[in-house]
Amino acid sequence: MNRTARNPVSRRIVAAVSVATFATLGFAGCASGGSTSTSSDGGSSDAIGVSLIVKTTSNPFFVAMEDGAKTAADKLGITLTLAAGKKDGDEDTQIQAIENSISKGDKGILITVNGPGVEDALVKARDAGLFVIALDTPPTNPDAVDITFATDNYLAGQDIGKWTAAKLDGKKATIAMLDLFSDKIVSVDYNRDQGFLDGMGIDTNDKTKNGDEAKTGSYSGGDYEIVGNEPTDGAEDGGRTAAETLLSKNPDINVIYTINEPAAYGAYQAFKAAGKTDMIIASVDGGCAGVSQVKDGFIGATAQQYPVKMAELGVQAIADLVKTGTKPSVTEGLDFYNTGVALVTDDPQSGIESIDTTAASKICWG
């Protein structure tokens, strides 16, 4: 898609601001939640059934998403079923949850797709008449879902890349790339990775593939070297292991890109254990814990996204479709509905729009 023509104002929707199309909903804050839930309508024959299937509940991002869906379901009288993969990348459990949703006669599915192996089941759900909305992670097959509600992950990567380049102030960038997977390709992984490099001013090759760019060259402020790409599975222990692996290859790493904040904190622990503190860590998520990590100096900057908003708007969209026949539409100029992104840092750089941790903590995962 053409990213240069996008309106930067429309892409940076703040989560605390209602969208007119869905203005009947408020926004919930960060909270914990269980694995299954239904609304209080008792499962009557007139109930609107919706299944939310997240990647995993080991990541607080998806727990917040579940809480947002439950809040919306309670307000709208929706019968909500929650399901999750056993870990990030678990496709089989998600496929079973899709099959269960079809069997129950749900009206719709909200899903954060764990990988391309899930998509045939989603096509089957659409063929069965369910309205399918992807949250956070667009599928590789556009026909697998009716619409996607998500962060512009490429833009999120660009934001932290631009901030990192400015923060370096001309110093050589020796970069560790801590990605999501090594055994499957998902858009959230390559969009954040490639967006970060683009924001740094590093030429990328195939924008849907991680690790194929030149390992040395020039970024917008000076020279760079990419030490390598390592998977983290989006987890703290994965981030620590990935950082340790790359540190063993080059102890001079001074820039760490991470797919999310759990991976970022794991990387911080690895560098700290190695006696290194003078490094720049940039990440994506902007959860309440992540914002605190920025405030405490573990992470230099993060791009904040809004999973509660994704879930609430998704539930609202299915309710509107069933009750009024109104279908949600994509954001102008994009092929998905943009739920917004904001750069969070207490070390702002000239010419780069950002909010501080005080502001971010008030809307974390709103």
Closest CA to 319 of 45, 124, 50, 44: 50
Check: CB of residue 168 under 8 Å from CB of residue 199.
no
Instruction: List the structure tokens of 199.
Output: 């924001």
For the sheet containing 173-179, what is the strand order? 216-218, 223-231, 173-179, 255-258, 280-285, 301-304, 342-344
Phi-psi region of 349 (alpha: psi -120 to 50; beta: other; left: phi over 0): beta
Q: Name the CATH superfamily, with its identifier, for domain 153-304+344-363.
A: Response regulator (3.40.50.2300)
What pLDDT tens digit does each residue of the chain (366 aa) get? 333 333 333 344 343 333 333 333 333 333 233 334 444 444 445 789 999 999 999 888 999 999 999 999 999 999 999 999 999 899 999 999 999 999 999 999 999 999 999 999 999 999 999 999 999 988 989 899 999 999 999 999 999 999 999 999 999 999 999 999 998 888 899 999 999 999 999 999 999 999 999 999 999 999 999 999 999 999 999 999 999 999 999 999 999 999 999 999 999 999 999 999 999 999 999 999 999 999 999 999 999 999 999 999 999 999 999 999 999 999 999 999 999 999 999 999 999 999 999 999 999 987
pLDDT at 11: 42
At residue 184, the pLDDT reads 86
Following DSSP, what letter does each residue of 123-175 receive, concatenated? Answer: HHHHHTT-EEEEESS--SSGGG-SEEEE--HHHHHHHHHHHHHHHHTT--EEE
Q: Any idea what the Cα angle at residue 196 is, between residues 159 and 282, rounded to 5°? A: 70
How far is 319 from 48, CA to CA, in rounded Å?
A: 7
Distance CA 210, CA 179 (A): 8
The pTM score is 0.81
Residue 58 CB coordination number (10 Å): 17
Q: N- to C-terminal Cα distance for the chain?
A: 27
User: Is domain 8-151+306-335 classified as CATH 3.20.20.70?
Assistant: no
**What is the rounded distance in angstroms from the CA atom of residue 126 to the CA atom of residue 145?**
7
Among 198, 215, 199, CA closest to 207: 198
3-class state of residue 313 by DSSP: helix
Nearest-10 crossing angle of helices 91-104, 119-127 = 10
Half-sphere exposure of 223 (CA within 13 A, CB side): 3
| Domain spans of the chain, in order of start | 8-151+306-335, 153-304+344-363
The SS3 assignment for 216 reads strand
Cα of 152 vs its chain's centroid, Å: 9
Side-by-side strand order, sheet with 48-54: 78-84, 48-54, 108-111, 131-135, 147-150, 337-338
Pick the closest to residue 284 from 313, 308, 257 (CA basis).
257
